[in-house]
Amino acid sequence: MEREQQQAIARQELMAEELRKAELVRDRLESLEKSVKAYPEGHDIRVLMEGLHLEEEALRAVEEYIRSLREALIHPRGS
């Protein structure tokens, strides 16, 4: 039983670290998005970056991943 508990704690620690990394990625994507908006409409850099669809795709995917990690940490399997 003690070994199972230690393994569960180790899994939670790994998920918490994964959550921290995903939050850093989200924060950087949000920062990049703000930087892009500093360029005027039609500027080459802004057009290029908006074409990557960071907000619609990457940021949304990272936020969904963060939600799933938080849910798993709040409601771990077997508890």
What distance in Å separates the CA atoms of residue 8 and residue 76, rounded to the nearest whole number?
A: 9
Report whether pLDDT(32) > 80. Answer: yes
Query: pLDDT tens-digit profile of 41-52?
Result: 999 999 999 998
- Note the residue count of the chain: 79
When the pLDDT of each residue in the chain is averaged and rounded to a whole number, the result is 92
Report whether pLDDT(79) > 70. Answer: no
pTM above 0.85, yes or no: no
Measured between alpha carbons, how far is residue 51 from residues 11, 33, 47, 76, 78 in Å? 38, 12, 6, 38, 43
